[in-house]
Every structure is written in C-alpha cells, then in structure tokens.
Amino acid sequence: MTTPLIEARKAGRILRGEITTTLVTDISLSVMPGEFVSITGPSGSGKSSLLYLLGLLDIPTEGEVLVGGEATRALDENHRADLRLAMLGFVFQFHFLLPEFSALDNVLLPMRALGRMKDAQMRNRATDLLTTLGLADHLWKRPDQLSGGQRQRVAIARALANQPSVILADEPTGNLDTVASAQVVSILRRIVDEEKKAVVIVTHDPGLAAKADRQIQIIDGRIASDGLSANQPATVAS
Ligand SMILES: Nc1ncnc2c1ncn2[C@@H]1O[C@H](COP(=O)(O)OP(=O)(O)OP(=O)(O)O)[C@@H](O)[C@H]1O
Ligand SMILES: [Mg+2]
C-alpha cells in the first residue's frame, strides 16, 4: 500500500484559554501522490488552520499529523523544520518573497537552507524552474519590479525548489487577476499530472476548486464533505 504523503488522524487544534477556541477538530484525511485537492469553506471556517496543521506550521493539540508516514506531533522544532524543507512547499496569498533579493536568490534560499546541492547545481535548478514558469527574462529582478502574477510564479518556483512531495497553497490566486490566476492553476495542475506530486489548495474561487480532483469542504472547523469532484457539485461557500 502506498504511504500517504500527509495523513491527519483525528487531528485538531483547540486553544484553551479564558475562552476555548476550536480552530479545527476531528480532521482525518490522507493526501496521496498525484492528488490535486481543494479545501473550500466559509471565511473563518478553519481552512488556513487546517493547512498549517498539514504543513507542520502549527502543532495539533489533539490527534496526529503524519508526513511521509512519520508522526510529527512529538518532534522537536528542528526536526519539523527539516521535514518541511525536504517534503513540503508553501505558496501563500501574499508571496512573502524577500524584497531585497532577486527572483533567483529567492528561489535559491530554500535550497541553501536544505544544503543538499552544490552552489552551481542550485543556480541551474533555480534558473530552470524560473524559466519553466516563464520568468527567464526576470531572474535578476526584485519582487517590487515584478507584476503580481510574476511574483506568485516566483513563489511557486521557490515552493518547488527542493522538489517537495506536496505543495500546500493558501489562496494562491486570491490576489491575482483572471489571466494570472488561470496561469497559476495550470502550473499547479501540471505539477500534479507530470510529476505525481500532490497539491492541496485553499481557495474561495469555485472555478479553481472545480479544477481539483477532490474537494474537501470545511465548516465550523470540521470536514463537512470530502469527495471526488466528478461525484459532487462544487460546494463553495462565500
Ligand atoms: N491564533 C488564533 N487565535 C485565536 N483564534 C484564531 C487564531 N487563528 C485563527 N483563529 C480563529 O479560528 C477560526 C479559523 O480561522 P482560519 O484562519 O483557519 O479560517 P479560514 O477558513 O482560513 O478563513 P478565511 O477564509 O477568512 O481565510 C477563525 O474563527 C479565526 O478567528
Ligand atoms: Mg484563511
């Protein structure tokens, strides 16, 4: 049996203070190689919280999250960071590129952090990735010299830098016009189809959700539905 790239077992994050806040709870799901999964749901329903748990950016307070079959809840932060760097790539609504660095240097950063390649190899890979994403003429530009869509493509190149098994994206097209959004979606689609990676994407955009093979809907911090797109209508709220 194939090991899921990411698996949540009754995972949740509940903040217990004077007031108890349930961000997400009772989340059980597996993400397999070659899956393109969308997460939809109303604002405040827990989509980002879920993505942070799946991406080891947050620690579950209940249940467990496994990455590549490895249980992560009890790992120390260094170990979690290593798993993130090697297995997961992130794309957010706002690109979070370093403003003073060129596109190329932004893509080099995660490779340098992982430290598995020689400098020349890293540069070749970064150049290839940016070229594939249509940015061959923009390698040396800083983020403020690029359009929103170009910046988001640099962010995708950065997310792909270490050849992660899973790309986790939180509203990656939320800030883009229709043409740039379509481009980002087709890039993500290609990553799934050609490289058998998995993509998990949080989106408010019904058109984008419909492009996924599997749609998970979150309501009030819980999975309300989880199914193949062909078998159910696009259930996208607000
Ligand atoms: N650090 C925190 N402390 C307290 N409450 C939080 C915290 N982070 C998120 N929340 C709350 O948890 C709930 C889920 O938030 P989350 O950001 O996951 O929602 P979302 O579905 O991503 O919403 P949106 O579509 O607006 O981005 C919200 O009610 C939010 O206010
Ligand atoms: Mg969110």
Distance 50 CA to ligand 2 centre (A): 9
Hey, which of 49, 57, 92 would you mutate to test ligand 1's pocket, going by the most ligand atoms within 8 Å of its Cβ?
49
Of 218, 234, 235, 209, nearest in space to 54 by CA = 218
Distance 35 CA to ligand 2 centre (A): 21
Chain position carrying tokens 């939180």: 170
Of 88, 49, 50, nearest in space to 70 by CA = 88
Please check whether residue 197 is in contact with residue 37, taking contact to mean a CB–CB distance below 8 angstroms: no
Looking at the CA of 39, name the nearest ligand: 1
Atom of ligand 1 nearest to the CA of 171: 27
Query: What tokens were used for 99?
Result: 């403003």
Q: What would the pLDDT profile of 112-171 be if each residue is shown by its tens digit?
A: 999 999 999 999 999 999 998 889 999 999 999 999 989 999 999 999 999 999 999 999
Q: Is the pTM of this model over 0.85?
A: yes
CATH number, domain with residue 175: 3.40.50.300
Atom of ligand 1 nearest to the CA of 51: 18
- Provide the residue range defining the domain that includes 208: 6-231
Residue type, 94: F
Ligand 1 neighbours, Cβ below 6 Å, are: 15, 21, 23, 41, 43-49
Residue 194 covered by a domain: yes
**Residues sharing a CB contact under 8 Å with residue 222, sequence separation 6 or more, in sequence order:** 24, 25, 26, 27, 46
Average pLDDT, the chain: 91
Exposed / middle / buried, residue 157 (Cβ in 10 Å: 0-12, 13-18, 19+): buried
Residue 116 covered by a domain: yes
Hey, which of 14, 15, 23 would you mutate to test ligand 1's pocket, going by the most ligand atoms within 8 Å of its Cβ?
23
At residue 38, φ and ψ (nearest 5 deg) are -110, 145
Residue 238 covered by a domain: no
The 3-class secondary structure across 18-86, one letter per residue, is CCEEEEEEEEEEEECCCCEEEEECCCCCCHHHHHHHHCCCCCCCEEEEEECCEECCCCCHHHHHHHHHH
HSE of 90, CA atoms in CB hemisphere, 13 A: 20
Residue 236 covered by a domain: no
Query: What tokens were used for 102?
Result: 């060129």
Distance 49 CA to ligand 1 centre (A): 6
Please check whether residue 177 is in contact with residue 149, taking contact to mean a CB–CB distance below 8 angstroms: yes
Please check whether residue 80 is in contact with residue 53, taking contact to mean a CB–CB distance below 8 angstroms: no
Residue 1 covered by a domain: no
Is the pLDDT score of 230 beyond 60? no
Looking at the CA of 20, name the nearest ligand: 1
- Sheet with 214-219: strands ordered across: 88-91, 166-170, 198-202, 36-40, 214-219, 222-228
Q: Give the per-residue pLDDT at 180.
A: 80
Looking at the CA of 40, name the nearest ligand: 1
Question: How much of the chain exceeds pLDDT 90, in percent?
Answer: 75
At residue 75, φ and ψ (nearest 5 deg) are -70, 150
Total tally of structural domains belonging to the chain: 1
Q: What would the pLDDT profile of 31-65 be if each residue is shown by its tens digit?
A: 999 999 999 999 999 999 999 999 999 999 999 99
Residue 168 covered by a domain: yes
Ligand 1 atom 7: residue of nearest CA: 23
Q: What would the pLDDT profile of 169-218 be if each residue is shown by its tens digit?
A: 999 888 778 888 888 888 889 889 988 899 999 998 888 888 899 999 99
